[in-house]
Amino acid sequence: MEDHQSNQSEVKQENIKKEFKSFAISLKEFFFDLLDIREGTDKKVTIQKIKDGIHVKSHTAWILVFSIIIASIGLNISSPAVVIGAMLVSPLMGPILGIGLSIGINDIDTMKSSLINLGVMVGISVVTSFIFFSIPIFQELTPELLARTKPDVRDVLIAIAGGLTLIVALSRYKEMTNTIAGIAIATALMPPLCTAGYGLAVGNLTFFGGAMFLFIINSIFIALATFVIIKFLNFPVVKYINSASRKRIASLASTIALIIFSYSIYTFVQLYKQNTFEQNSTKFIDDLEQATGAGIINKKIIYADKRIDLVNIGKKLTEDEQIKWKSKLAEYKLNNTTLKITQDEETSKLSDKVKSIEDLYVKNQKLIASKEESIQEKDDKIKELIKALEKLTKEEIPFTQISQEAKINYEGLKTISFSKVISTNFETIDTIPVATISWYDSITNKDELGVKMTKWLQKRLNLENLILKENLNKQ
């Protein structure tokens, strides 16, 4: 009985092993079919398509010139959309693919043609952008231009992935047009050439060198990716009649491939180290500024010399604080890095003076706020005085002018005088303007003239309550 149960257990275990093995084989076949790029490869047509795209001819040259102009304008106005449009029509990718292909299939003629055409295209691109940026109104440094002045480790990764994707897409029986267009945008070969032309136009050789280095890095890794896929797909190598010649060319191609591959790895490692150093340095500076209250107005992170230069105009760092932060460099993986902090007494005094001015301003604002009511009262008093002054000015009678006009209008007028009479009804007090006149004895219609003169004076002086009296005293 026990032997029977043991046999059944062994059979079950054997069945489980077979099922698991079958599942593992099926899973392996699934992923192999999913990721295998050898199926659907058209080697002959792929080689011909790459060779056809190498040469720069009349129409290709003009397309390149126009696309460079479009890209330069896009960089000048910081418009990614315009730059993308230029990259879609650029023929720059052709010779680079040709270099990778020629090394992979030992085709020395294709290599020569690719190198010559790539040199011509680069020359046309740099000259075109140089002419464009030589125009003064187009020489403003924009963020889009500044972003292409030095390579980044991420540019290398983009170039590798872009080159791999491009050659895989090109090698299909059915060309993947959308993929090829997307890679033309992602690898961004044109903007560095435009930036190189800008550097020459403004006389900035640092910009020129950095942009050209970025272009070369992108080109090398795209060519390297092409070479790897060509070898992986086992493209047929070019056969030469002369066996010695074939071996020599194969050896040359292998040597070039090894040099490019070695340089690519070296460049990638160096860029990775530089990016890591710059990121760690930035984090170190931010933490230092936040912890100490320093005001860093200028910072230089120099990877080649492993140095960080800071200019501080905020809170002055003491010797102990500087020693403390220098000892912390190792915590940020900045070993063997020199930290230099520039600060002096004048900047410290300036910072203190700014602080005292801020405190004084706050104090004055509080003082002003506490005296708002008093100021308002004074304003009201001033308004009252202004109104009284306006009233007094309005009531003032231009005696000389009025008396001369009255003498002209009324020939029998002997004397005229003005006065203000204060009267009251014991409830209110009022000031009444009074004009007193006297006539020559020869005048007979004194009453009629008096009425007429009263109306004239009231209208002339804009005083409706003016009273006219006749002086009856004989002089």
- Dump pLDDT digits (tens) for 184-229: 555 567 888 899 999 999 999 888 988 888 888 888 888 888 888 8
More confident residue, 60 or 375: 60
Domain 397-470 indexed as CATH 2.60.40: no
Which is it for the CA torsion 110, 113, 116, 122, positive or negative?
A: negative
Cα distance between residue 250 and residue 428, in whole Å: 125
What percent of the chain is predicted at pLDDT more than 90?
7
43-238: in CATH 1.10.287: no
Please name the residue that has the structure tokens 């040099």.
259
Q: Is the pLDDT of residue 255 over 80?
A: no
Contact between 462 and 429 under an 8 Å Cβ cutoff? The reply is no
Query: 276-347 adopts what CATH topology?
Result: GMP Synthetase; Chain A, domain 3 (3.30.300)
- Write down the pLDDT at residue 198: 92
Q: Do domains 276-347 and 397-470 have the same CATH topology?
A: yes
The pair of three-digit structure tokens given for residue 24, joined into one six-digit string: 């593992």
Q: What is the arithmetic mean of pLDDT over 420-439?
A: 82
Contact 416, 400 (CB under 8 A): no
Evaluated on CA atoms 255, 256, 261, 267, the torsion sign reads positive
Domain coordinates in residue numbering, the chain: 43-238, 276-347, 397-470
Q: Higher model confidence: residue 209 or residue 257?
A: 209
pLDDT tens string 261-314: 677 677 778 878 888 888 899 998 888 888 887 778 788 888 888 888 888 877
Instruction: Write the single-letter amino acid at 351.
Output: S
Residues 472/437, Cβ–Cβ less than 8 Å: no
10 burial via Cβ count (<10 Å: 0-12, 13-18, 19+): exposed
For residue 288, the SS3 value is helix
Torsion of CA 245, 250, 253, 258, to 10 degrees: -140
pLDDT for res 292: 82
Whether the CB-CB separation of 170 and 229 falls below 8 Å is answered with no
pLDDT in tens, 433-454: 888 888 887 888 888 888 888 8
